[in-house]
Amino acid sequence: MKLIFKLYAGLGEYLPADAKSNTTLIDIEEQDSVLDVISQFNIPPEMIHLVLLNGVYLHPEERTTPKFNEGDSLAIWPPVAGG
What pLDDT, on the 0 to 100 scale, is given for residue 18?
A: 87
* Helical ranges in the chain per DSSP H: 34-39
Q: Is residue 83 part of a domain?
A: no
Strand order in the sheet with 56-57: 23-27, 2-7, 73-77, 50-53, 56-57
Q: What is the pTM of this model?
A: 0.90
Per residue in 47-76, pLDDT (tens digit) is 999 999 999 999 999 999 988 999 999 999
Q: What is the CATH number of the domain that holds 46?
A: 3.10.20.30
Q: Is residue 66 part of a domain?
A: yes
